[in-house]
Every structure is written in C-alpha cells, then in structure tokens.
Chains A and B, each alone.
Chain A
Amino acid sequence: MSTLRIWLTQALFIFLITESIGQLVEPCGYIYPEFPVVQRGSNFTAICVLKEKCLQQYYVNASYIVWKTNHVAVPKEQVTVINRTTSSVTFTDMVLQTVQLTCNVLSFGQIEQNVYGTTVLSGFPPDIPTNLSCIVNEGKNMLCHWDPGRETYLETNYTLKSEWPTEKFADCHSKHGTSCMVSFSPIYFVNIEVWVEAENALGKVSSEAINFDPVDKVKHIPPYNLSVSNSEELSSILKLTWNNSGTLRLKSDIQYRTKDASTWIQVPLEDTESPRTSFTVQDLKPFTEYVFRIRTIKEDGKGYWSDWSEEASGITYEDRPSKPPSFWYKINPSHTQESRSARLIWKELPLSEANGKILDYEVILTQWKSFSQNYTVNGTELIVNLTNNHYIASLAARNVVGKSDTAVLTIPSSHFKASHPVVDLKAFPKDNKLRVEWTAPHKPVKKYIIEWCVLSDNSPCVPDWQQEGGSVTQTYLRGSLLESKCYLITVTPVFTSGPGSSESVKAYLKQAAPSRGPTVRTKKVGKNEAVLEWDQLPVDDQNGFIRNYSISYRTSIGNEIVVNVDSSHTEYTLSPLSSDTLYMVRMAAYTDEGGKDGPEFTFTTPKFAQGEIEAIVVPVCLAFLLTTLLGVLFCFNKRDLIKKHIWPNVPDPSKSHIAQWSPHTPPRHNFNSKDQMYSDGNFTDVSVVEIEANNKKPCPDDLKSLDLFKKEKISTEGHSSGIGGSSCMSSSRPSISSNEENESAQNTASTVQYSTVVHSGYRHQVPSVQVFSRSESTQPLLDSEERPEDLQLADNVDSSDEILPRQQYFKQNCSQPEANPDISHFERSNQVSSGSEEDFVRLKQQQVSDHISQPCGSEQQRLFEEGPATGALGAGTDGQVEQFESVGMETAMDEEIPKSYLPQTVRQGGYMPQ
C-alpha cells in the first residue's frame, strides 16, 4: 500500500516538473524559415519574430536582436529591423554547407539571451542523371547504373522508375545514388521504359527514359560442363561439348591454347555464330594438350558476353613422328687395324615432331654391298663394332601410330679422307643465344652437325650437338649455355658420301671480366730495367677473350705508370727503371667486359749492374797486388841497405875470438856445457846430466847451469841469482824471465860494451881482448828471450859448431814450453810421489826408449798442444806420464841431434849469425 503511494507521488512530481519545463522552454520568438535549405552561392534572408510577451518582459524590441552565425555576431549591415517585433538578416553567396544561425536578444539592454536557432544548409539541386544503362545478370534481377552528376551536398533521393505502357513496376530507391537493382524479374521480349528521378530540398529532376527489351541486356551465366574429347581417327582435332543456360539462342566464343602457352588462340566467331553446345576444333598438333574456354552472348550479339567458362583441357591423339631424329656418329679413336667401334647417337625428337610417345628407335646398319643388321634401341645411342669398310646407317623413331621417315648417315671407310670444310665460320652472341654462321662448302651438303663443349682445364670437353639442314648456313645453339664459359664450336658438313672436314671456333655467350688477374713475376732484374713474365690465364679464369694486359708499376713514392701489352705476349721489359729502388708491379687482364688485377709483385732493382762490382774490385786488387809486388822487389833489391838500417849486425859472441884465444882457460869446475861443447862437441855427457836433472831435480840442475851462467856474468855486478833457486819449484820460466827482466837493465847497461866487442870481433874476425867473458854469458839469454818459438823449430837446423851452445840452450828451451804450464804438475807429481823418485826415473827411461825415434820438434809441438789439456787433467797419472815423456824426450833429442841433424845444420850455415 505504502509502495503504491510512493509510486503515485513520484509520478505526480515528474508530471509537474515536465509541465513547468514546457512552460520554461517556450521560446520568445521564432526564425523563419524554420528549416532553411539554400542553393550554394545564392542569397538567403531569414527573419526573427519576437513574441509580444517577451517584448514587455525583457524590455526589448526588434532592434535589440543580435544575429549570430556559428556563434559569431552578424555585421549590422546585413541586419534589418522590419518592425517592432521583426528583424531580418540577409546573407549573400552562401558557401558553407551548414551554418548555425541564432537569433539573440539583449534583454534589459545588455544581457544577451538566445531566442531561437536553426541550421541553414546549402547545396545544389540534383543534376539530371545521365548515362543510364541496365544489365540483366541471368538468374538475378535487373541492375541499372547512371551518372548522378554534380555532388549536391544535400540529402538526395534517386528513384529508378520502370514501366510498361500498360503497367508500372515498383520503384527502386537507391541508397548510394549511382545504381539500383529492381525488385522484380525482368520480362524478356517486352520493352520496358526506365528512368531515374533525383530529388532533394532544392529540386527534383528526371533523367531521360530509356526503352529497351530486357532480353537485349542479358549477361548470361557462363557455359558449364565443358568437356574435351579427342579422336583416334584424326590426331588434329578435339571435340568440345558444353551446356548453356536458359532457353535463349546463344552464340559462343571459343578460345584455346596449348598447355604451356600463355596466349589464347581465337576460334573465328563466324564459326560459332549459330547456337550450339558442341564444336570441333581442327588443325591442332598431334599429341598436344590444349586448354579451352568458352563464353556466350545472345545470338544477335545484343547484351553482354558472359564470363568465361571454367577451362577444360584435352590431348589430341598421337600421330606418327613427323621427322626423323637428328642422327650422328662418333668413331672410337682407339680402333684396331681390323675393326673400329662406332657410337651412333641421335637426339630425342621434340614433342612437336614426335607426335606421341616414342616407343623405340629402329637402326639399320648396312655394310657396303653386304647384308644389313637391324637394331631396336630404347635409348638414344648405339655402339656397334664396324670393320674398316664403308657403312650406311639409317634411323627411324617409332610411336604407337607409326614410324618416322628414316635418317640416313654414311659412315665412310676408315681410309676416307674428309674434305670440304665450311669456311668463314663465326660464332657470336646474339639475343642471349650463341649464333653460328658459316659459308657452305662448294659441294652439296646433306646436313650440318654442330657440336659444342665448354673448354675447361678442370673438366674434359663433353660435346653437345645439333643437326641442321643442308641449306642452313646460320643457326642458334640449342641447349642451355652458360655465361663466361668458353665454348668450342665445331661445324661439320655431312655430304652424301660422308662427313666433311670440321671447322672450329671459340665463342662466349657472354663475356665477363677475368676471375683473377695474371700473376706477374720478374724473369730478370737489371739496374735500369726488369723483364717481367707471366703465364697465360687458365681458360677457366679468362671468362672471355683476353684482349690485352695492362701492367702498372710504381715505386713507393712515385706515380703509377701503366703499360698496355698485347694479349699474345707473356713477357715484357720494364725500362727505364731507377737503380736500387723497390718497384710494385701489378698486372691486369682485360676481356671485352672488363679487367681484373692480379696480385701485386714487388722487386728491387740492384744498385750495380751485373759485373760492375767486379769491374771495380778486380782492378783495385790488381793494383794493390802490383804495388805490393813492387814494394817487395824494391825491398829485395835494397835489402842490404835496409838490413843495415833495421837489423844492424850484432857480433856473435860465440864467434868471438876470445874463446879461441883462451883455449887454455882452466875449465870451470862447475858444469859448463858451453865449454864442453866447444871443447869436443860431445852431448852425451850433457844428456846424462839432463836425465839426471829430470830425475826429480830438473830445475835446480837446469837452473844451476843457468845460475852458473849468471853467476859468471852477474858475479861482477854482485847480483844475486837466488830468484831461480828460490822459485825453482814454482816456475822455472818466470824465474828465467824474472832473471831476464832483472837483467834487462843490466843488459842494456852493458850493451855499449857488448856491441862494441862483438862488432869489432865479428867483422874482422879479430878477437877482442877486452871484456869477452861478459858477452859469452849474456848471448843465449838474449836470444831465447827474443825468439822462444823460432828457436824450438829452428833448433834442428843450427850448424854443428855454432849451434852447439844454442842447441844446448834449445834443449832447455825445448823443455821450457812444457815446463811453463806443466811445472805445477811437476810439483804436484812431486808432491804425490816424492817418495818414489826412482820409480819415476825408471818409467822415464822406459818411455824415452819408446819415443827415442821421434823428433824433438814434433813431439814438442804435440806437447805444446796438449799442454793445457794435460794441465787440466790435474792429478791424473796420464798427465804425469805425459810430462815425463816430454822430459824424457829432451834426453832422446839431445842424444840424437848430433847423429841425425848435424849435417843439416852445417848446410844452413848462412843463418848462423843469428
């Protein structure tokens, strides 16, 4: 109950509200015309009429009216106050499609209040529709099109009207204004009148009416169930059958093409004018698939062609091959005397000539005036063994219908000499194919065989071939050719008697730049020129005919120089070049299509030409040699003079006559070898002494003898020779050296005297009576000091009488080199085996006897060489043995010298003075 009350209250409230709003929104005035539509570009006037009630309420009149278009006040000039309640506004040349026009009033003189508003539309009246045309799609209703003309900018209704003289049909209202499909099925053979009416707010127009029979506007449904059948009797025909729609008489349009073709072949329209549902297409190729399509139109040609039917295809029946295959043969080159192997080859017939599926080939081989052999081959080659005789081979291809004509080939006997080649054979690319042209030989040609293959270093020449008729002198190579490949094309004319001589030519389908450039190298590099050489590019890299080479060379700083070389060359001499310069050479090979650089090669020219150094060095050497020789000769000639200046004669103290003069000088008590030698020249005694000296007391003995010398010479000066004695165990040489060093001052000090004595004594062989004893003692020391090695070598060549003292000295010297490094060993051996001196002596003697025949010099040299090594051996007994050997050697030598070498020394007396 309460719910009902609430509902009633609400309803009452809503009613009251609505009522009051209705009162509130009642406008103070109106704009006329209420829904203005204006033709574009024309003038337009609107008026605003205020209500009397509002005039009083707001204290306004028409002069207070403000017009606005699209919220913009209209200039006062366009506004006219007609009376107290009415104001008008005029617009000229309306161009905007829609304008919001409002009538406002200034209430109380200042508050602008909207009174009324409207929308002004502008546009054009409809144009008269033109180009009205209709089409009747079979099975559908009629569709008409027209051209509405200019855009109206206004809502325009197009109505397609149609009628018979006796009846009107339903109007067709178009939505988009350019076409309309009527709602009824058209009635054929009764003319209908059709026109279009266009209407909008600015006007209504009608198009010109068209009167037509709808059957003349029909576009039929395409023919269907198109089928194709062939005839076994005739391989050149195909029969088409199809169905047409409807009951009207139609003519057809038939097109066909081979399956692979893209263009259609038209069956003449005259042939298909009469209404039909079947047709036989003639003049077709056998065993070829054809595709057909068909369309129809009314018999009289009025209306529209139907769309094309679905395509249907059929294959014509086979016919016997129309041509024999291309036929050729190859003789195996390695044939024997009696027989040869021939490979008969032929080409598969193209489909257009095979006229069916080739089942097999029939080859008949007939030997000259002999029986024939038949072969049936499935492939395209036959290898037969032939004798050297003349043969005739014939070939025919066979399909299910029949055999082709035969191709006959004469295989001449093996002794046959081919002749009559084609002349002026040329091959060049044309239209992206290789064209071959030639001039026929002067003999009727049956056919030509053209063979070609790719020339390559990597793969053998596998020829492809084709056959051309005897009247042909130009052809294109059939087959897929590659670009940038060198083709060797051979043309062989075939005469009735057999093949003629072949001619070959090379060609490229399309040249390209070489794959790589030639690798250049130097053959010879001279000071101002270099001979470059290179190899011809392999044919696989050429990619075209090499027309020329370009050699570009430069130094590291200089400009590049480019030389073009003919393609026939494989070497080139670069000149002039700078000497001692690094050159970079690069070589490019060019075909007609471009070039390719090879790797860069560098070489350096030499500073001198070949033989130049020799030319300088040899004369210089010769000059030097000559100078030297002259110098030597000069020296030789002037040797006396030089000798006098450089080597003044030093008197030999040993030859001083004082020794002779005093033969009776009492002999020294001490062991004095010199005296003994002079006295009798017997060394054996000395040798004994030496062995004894080696017998563990060599140094003291030797030194003793030295000391005796020294004592004799030094005693006058009061010098002590204790050095030798004290240093005996450490080194004999140093002790001697030190003695010598010590004595050098004395020697120099006594030189004056000494020289004087010798000089006078030696020259005039006049024994000097003064100071002879001193010279006697110093001479050996001086000598040994100056030439220790020479003495060792020369010891054998000293004269018998004069050498004796030297020999003795040499004997000491002989031991000196070994003593020098080996003394320490001696010492060590002494230390090691001091307690068995007698054993050593025995050993020594044994070894001496072993080595007794060996010359001292060689042994000494050996020892000299081994000295350091033996020294290194240290405490080894071998070293000791060696050292003992050397020592023992001296004894042996001492013993032998007088026997074996004495005569030599006598002969070489010329050197004695030294």
Chain B
Amino acid sequence: MDLRAGDSWGMLACLCTVLWHLPAVPALNRTGDPGPGPSIQKTYDLTRYLEHQLRSLAGTYLNYLGPPFNEPDFNPPRLGAETLPRATVNLEVWRSLNDKLRLTQNYEAYSHLLCYLRGLNRQAATAELRRSLAHFCTSLQGLLGSIAGVMAALGYPLPQPLPGTEPAWAPGPAHSDFLQKMDDFWLLKELQTWLWRSAKDFNRLKKKMQPPAASVTLHLEAHGF
C-alpha cells in the first residue's frame, strides 16, 4: 500500500477525531458505573474456582462413600435424582438461550442444588468433610448471590422460588443406604456439570458484555496499518 500525502492528512484527521471521542467511550470512562462486566467476570472466575474446589471435595466425598462410587469409571443410571436440575442441554438450545433465561436457569439450578447440598452436609460423617461441605455450600451461596447480582445489574428480576421444589431432598426412610449414596453421587455429578455449564454461560456472557473500547482500538490499528 503506497501512502500519499492526501492519505496521511486523512489518517491524521481520523486519529484526531478518535482522540476527541475517546473520553466518551464508556470502557475508558472509569469514573462512571462499571456496569455488569466485572461482576460477570467475577462470577465466571467463581464458577471456575468452584469447579476446582468441587473436584477435590467430590473426590473426598466419593471416597467417603466408598466403592463403587469412588471408581473412576463408575457411571450408574440416574435413578432417584430426577428432581435434580439437569445441566445437560442440547447445544442448539443452549445457544439460543437469551441472557435472562440463561441466568435464570443458572440461578434456579443453584438454588436447588444448594438445598440438596445442605442435606448432604448434614449426612457427612467426618468433621473435616462437614467443614469442607459447609465451605462449599457457602461458596455456592456466594455464586448464587453473584448470579443475582449480575441479573440485578442487567435489570432482570430474580425468579420466584417455586412452591414444592423447596427442600425436596428430605432423607426419607424410603431410600436405602445405597440409593442414598447414589443420590449423593448424582448430586455431586450434576453439580459438577452445572459448574462447567455455568462457566460456559458466563464466559459467553462475559464476551458479550466486553467493553467496545478494545474493538475501537483494534479498528484503529487495522485502519492505520
């Protein structure tokens, strides 16, 4: 590309215009409301962090449950965990979800999972495990709060808790010990899947909410060179 004097002047004018408008770019104007961006990022980080945390917690808990639950290739049928919110969803469906729905599903899922997890906490035998579960519960509660915060920031209303879905995980005598453990196994598995999905959700949301400033700069660079 050969640059002529006229092009140079035009480029300079363009640069001046961009510089003039720079303070108006929201991402660079740090004095105002930061928007939902940081909290989405934080929520994303939290989901990743909880994924890590759950991995070690699940390992400990499955060991506590004993074989065959702690075997790596143990994949039992989903029997008694029908009430658990399913994280798995068709990819196309997932892609077609809007932000509000996506956040609402997350919020509802974790609300339920948290209730179930609290039940799990009560059953745990060792103090160390109980402490870990309690901490994870608190963390999950923090995640719930974060999602609520993001929703609030985006102007979405919080979903009302559905009657009947509340403490549905009451340890009943109907369950045998093995089935109980099976439920625990599926709870942890579902939780893991949800955290994985949430990470994806928030990553997508994060990218969507990316401040446009970076793109301006990129455009400028592309134009200049």
Identity of the chain A residue whose Cβ is nearest the Cβ of B52 in the assembled complex: A247
Majority SS of interface residues in chain B?
helix
Contact across chains for B46 and A167 when beta carbons are under 8 A apart: no
Q: Give the distance to chain A from B205, nearest Cβ to Cβ, in Å.
A: 15
Q: Give the distance to chain B from A185, nearest Cβ to Cβ, in Å.
A: 5
Provided the pairs A164-B142, A184-B138 are in contact, do residues A189 and B42 lie with their beta carbons within 8 angstroms? yes
Contact across chains for B145 and A167 when beta carbons are under 8 A apart: yes
| Contact partner, B149, options A165, A213, A248, Cβ 8 Å | A165
Contact across chains for A190 and B135 when beta carbons are under 8 A apart: no
Contact across chains for A164 and B43 when beta carbons are under 8 A apart: no
Identity of the chain A residue whose Cβ is nearest the Cβ of B138 in the assembled complex: A187
Contact across chains for B52 and A189 when beta carbons are under 8 A apart: no
| Contact partner, A190, options B52, B53, B143, Cβ 8 Å | B143
- CA separation between A247 and B56, bound complex, in Å? 11
Q: Does A188 contact B (CB under 8 A)?
A: yes
Q: Give the distance to chain B from A306, nearest Cβ to Cβ, in Å.
A: 19
- CA separation between A248 and B149, bound complex, in Å? 23
The A-contacting residues of B in range 136-173, CB under 8 angstroms, are 138-139, 141-146, 148-149
Contact across chains for A188 and B138 when beta carbons are under 8 A apart: no
Instruction: Give 1 or 0 for each of A179-203: 1 = CB within 8 Å of chain B CB.
Output: 0000011011111000000000000
Instruction: Give 1 or 0 for each of B46-57: 1 = CB within 8 Å of chain A CB.
Output: 100100110000
Q: Does A23 contact B (CB under 8 A)?
A: no
- CA separation between A114 and B48, bound complex, in Å? 74
Q: Does B45 contact A (CB under 8 A)?
A: yes
Identity of the chain B residue whose Cβ is nearest the Cβ of A165 in the assembled complex: B145
Interface range for B: 10 to 19
Kindly list chain B residues whose C-beta atoms are within 8 Å of the C-beta of A189.
Answer: 42-43, 45-46, 49, 142, 146
- CA separation between A863 and B171, bound complex, in Å? 169
Instruction: Give 1 or 0 for each of A192-228: 1 = CB within 8 Å of chain B CB.
Output: 0000000000000000000001010000000000000
Contact across chains for A187 and B52 when beta carbons are under 8 A apart: no
Q: Does A662 contact B (CB under 8 A)?
A: no
Contact across chains for B46 and A188 when beta carbons are under 8 A apart: yes
Instruction: Give 1 or 0 for each of A152-168: 1 = CB within 8 Å of chain B CB.
Output: 00000000000011110
Contact across chains for A167 and B149 when beta carbons are under 8 A apart: no
Identity of the chain B residue whose Cβ is nearest the Cβ of A247 in the assembled complex: B52
Identity of the chain A residue whose Cβ is nearest the Cβ of B140 in the assembled complex: A187
Contact across chains for A190 and B148 when beta carbons are under 8 A apart: no
Identity of the chain A residue whose Cβ is nearest the Cβ of B148 in the assembled complex: A166
Instruction: Give 1 or 0 for each of A137-180: 1 = CB within 8 Å of chain B CB.
Output: 00000000000000000000000000011110000000000000
Kindly list chain A residues whose C-beta atoms are within 8 Å of the C-beta of B144.
Answer: 166
- CA separation between A215 and B135, bound complex, in Å? 15
- CA separation between A652 and B104, bound complex, in Å? 193
- CA separation between A189 and B53, bound complex, in Å? 13
Q: Give the distance to chain A from B23, nearest Cβ to Cβ, in Å.
A: 25
Kindly list chain B residues whose C-beta atoms are within 8 Å of the C-beta of A185.
Answer: 135, 138
Q: Give the distance to chain A from B98, nearest Cβ to Cβ, in Å.
A: 24
Kindly list chain A residues whose C-beta atoms are within 8 Å of the C-beta of B146.
Answer: 189-190
Contact across chains for B49 and A188 when beta carbons are under 8 A apart: yes
Among A166, A184, A213, A248, residue most surrounded by chain B Cβ atoms (within 10 Å): A166
Q: Give the distance to chain A from B154, nearest Cβ to Cβ, in Å.
A: 16
Kindly list chain A residues whose C-beta atoms are within 8 Å of the C-beta of B143.
Answer: 190
The A-contacting residues of B in range 21-78, CB under 8 angstroms, are 42-43, 45-46, 49, 52-53
Q: Give the distance to chain B from A192, nearest Cβ to Cβ, in Å.
A: 9
- CA separation between A139 and B142, bound complex, in Å? 19
- CA separation between A688 and B129, bound complex, in Å? 172
Provided the pairs A188-B49, A189-B49, A247-B49 are in contact, do residues A166 and B42 lie with their beta carbons within 8 angstroms? no
Kindly list chain B residues whose C-beta atoms are within 8 Å of the C-beta of A166.
Answer: 141, 144-145, 148
Q: Give the distance to chain B from A187, nearest Cβ to Cβ, in Å.
A: 4
Q: Give the distance to chain B from A288, nearest Cβ to Cβ, in Å.
A: 40
| Contact partner, A164, options B45, B46, B135, B145, Cβ 8 Å | B145
Kindly list chain A residues whose C-beta atoms are within 8 Å of the C-beta of B43.
Answer: 189
Q: Give the distance to chain B from A139, nearest Cβ to Cβ, in Å.
A: 12
B residues whose Cβ falls under 8 Å from a Cβ of A: 42-43, 45-46, 49, 52-53, 135, 138-139, 141-146, 148-149
Q: Apart from A187-B142, A247-B53, what are 9 other A-B pairs with CB-CB below 8 Å?
A: A167-B141, A167-B145, A184-B135, A188-B45, A188-B46, A189-B142, A189-B146, A190-B139, A190-B143
Would you list the 6 A-B pairs with minimal beta carbon distance, nearest first? Answer: A190-B142, A189-B46, A247-B52, A166-B145, A187-B142, A189-B45
Q: What are 15 A-B pairs with beta-carbon distances under 8 A?
A: A166-B145, A184-B135, A187-B135, A187-B139, A188-B45, A188-B49, A189-B42, A189-B43, A189-B45, A189-B142, A190-B42, A190-B139, A190-B142, A190-B145, A215-B49
